[in-house]
Structure 1
Amino acid sequence: MGDKPNGEMARVGVYVDGFNLYYGLRLLSRRRDLWLDLGELARNLLRSGQSLEHVTYFTALVRADPLAVARQRAYLAALRCHGTEVVLGRFQEQVKRCRACGATWRSYEEKKTDVAIASAMVADVALGRVDVVMLVSADSDLCAAVERVREIDARRGAKTRVVSVFPPGKSADGLRKCSDAWFPLGAAVVRRSQLPEVVAGRDGARYHRPPHWS
């Protein structure tokens, strides 16, 4: 996968759809595996002849629940300590109404994450930063970004290998069809890719696995 001539290592960029992965991990084990080291996960997924260029995690900050906010901030800080780049989108508040009874309630919808992932993938390929795109998601909306990658490849006369990794319990027919390869993320690799219980930052800060994630 992603072999290059003359013994060169194929550079792999890993793009993680944060909430897609989160809900897959919840399906797998509720909260037990949420303290996931994405860099270690990526290294465990590499094959011979590949080198890890970067791991980028795309998500949005949760709202409304202070305890959930604290857990997420600790996790993002721990990821950064272990070399994962974090790109933040946002949640947009919406007011929804029941057609039957007229009751209303507030809801939050994640915005910009898929656009950010698509932009990063296309930019990295266009600028020659990666030879392999590894997409951790089951969102077929990202097929449009894969099509742009194919167009760039056609113009430059090189082939970028696109590999889709489906979070536990999830799949996407669109990504199956447009990717060069795909596979489900298994429980075994998730379990051996967990962060330490306590992650130490360079500034002396310490980030603990939330007790709620057990």
Structure 2
Amino acid sequence: MGRTAVLIDGFNLYHGMKKQRGRRHLWLDHVKLASLLRPRDQIVDVRYLTAAVLDDSDAARRQQAYLQALKAQHPSLLTVVEGRYQRKRMSCWSCGANWTSYDEKETDVNIAVALMEIAASAVLDTVLVVSADSDLCPAVRSAQRVAPQLTIVPAFPPHRRSGELRSLLPSAFTIGETKLRQSQLPPVVRDAATGAKFERPAYWQ
């Protein structure tokens, strides 16, 4: 049995799941998913890396309820690491239309930093990286140099692929829909410490 950490690229996973089945699987229990993906391992550290929604109050409330539910379900095992979104004004040169776009910042850097911290600590056997972001390749190469004994396994979200990551780490695989369906949080999650309860948003049914 190996000791395993899990690093989850929330943005990458969210859009992969949404493309696959809309909002059906968004109430996802990442610890349960990790246990299904690595059934022989001891999952000791799960980090969910995401960024707070901007300019959409309803989406922000759903996101916060979800993050609170995750932390209540696994208070000693799961950590939420937040980056940020940056607004960017966009313009169409043809018609002159203007709109606001959003770039997620810091998540890939936060994953890279976490990967290097784990490699340097030399106390874990495996890191499961839930992402198909090829920008992580330099960090993977560095981690392999620092800790050649560390096994790094990319788990690609649905409809997400990275040929560069797969070439670097042939153990890469795609997360199947069955595992996502089996890894949902309870419809209502209660915080044992505070008594607060967090319900799956009706919008995500």
Q: Which residue of 2 aligns with 1:18?
A: 10
Give secondary structure in 1 for the equivalent of 2:184.
Answer: coil
Q: Answer yes or no: is the 8 Å Cα contact 2:73–2:190 preserved in 1.
A: no
Aligned-partner residue type, residue 39 of structure 1:
V
Q: Answer yes or no: is the 8 Å Cα contact 1:161–1:180 preserved in 2.
A: no
1:46 equivalent to 2:38? Answer yes
Q: Answer yes or no: is the 8 Å Cα contact 2:119–2:150 preserved in 1.
A: yes
> Normalising to structure 1: TM-score of the pair?
0.91
**How far has the Cα of 1:37 moved from its partner?**
0.3
Q: Answer yes or no: is the 8 Å Cα contact 1:133–1:163 preserved in 2.
A: yes
Using the aligned pairs only, state the percent identity: 43
Q: Which residue of 1 aligns with 2:136?
A: 142
1:110 equivalent to 2:101? Answer no
- Could you list the per-position Cα deviations for residues 143-179 of structure 1 after superposition, in whole angstroms to 9, with x for gaps in the alignment? 11101111102xxxx4111111010111110110111
Q: Which residue of 2 aligns with 1:174?
A: 164
The structure-2 alpha-carbon separation of the partners of 1:60 and 1:31, relative to structure 1 and needing over 3 Å to count, comes to same
Q: Which residue of 1 aligns with 2:176?
A: 186
2:46 counterpart (52, 55, 75)? 55
1:92 counterpart (86, 91, 105)? 86
Give secondary structure in 1 for the equivalent of 2:48.
Answer: strand
Q: Whole-Å Cα distance in 1 between the matches of residues 126 and 117 of structure 2?
A: 13
1:203 counterpart (168, 174, 194)? 194
Structure 2 gap segments, 5+ residues each: none
Give secondary structure in 2 for the equivalent of 1:188.
Answer: helix
> Normalising to structure 2: TM-score of the pair?
0.94
1:133 equivalent to 2:127? Answer yes
**How far has the Cα of 1:180 moved from its partner?**
4.6
Aligned-partner residue type, residue 93 of structure 1:
R
Deviates most, 75-84 or 98-107: 98-107
Q: How many residue pairs align between the two structures?
A: 201
Q: Which residue of 2 aligns with 1:71?
A: 62
Structure 1 gap segments, 5+ residues each: 1-8
- Could you list the per-position Cα deviations for residues 16-73 of structure 1 after superposition, in whole angstroms to 9, with x for gaps in the alignment? 000100011112210011000001001111142x211211000000011111011000
Q: Whole-Å Cα distance in 2 between the matches of residues 129 and 136 of structure 1?
A: 20
Give secondary structure in 2 for the equivalent of 1:181.
Answer: coil
Q: Whole-Å Cα distance in 2 between the matches of residues 207 and 47 of structure 1?
A: 28
- Could you list the per-position Cα deviations for residues 84-103 of structure 1 after superposition, in whole angstroms to 9, with x for gaps in the alignment? 21000000111112122333
Give secondary structure in 2 for the equivalent of 1:212.
Answer: helix
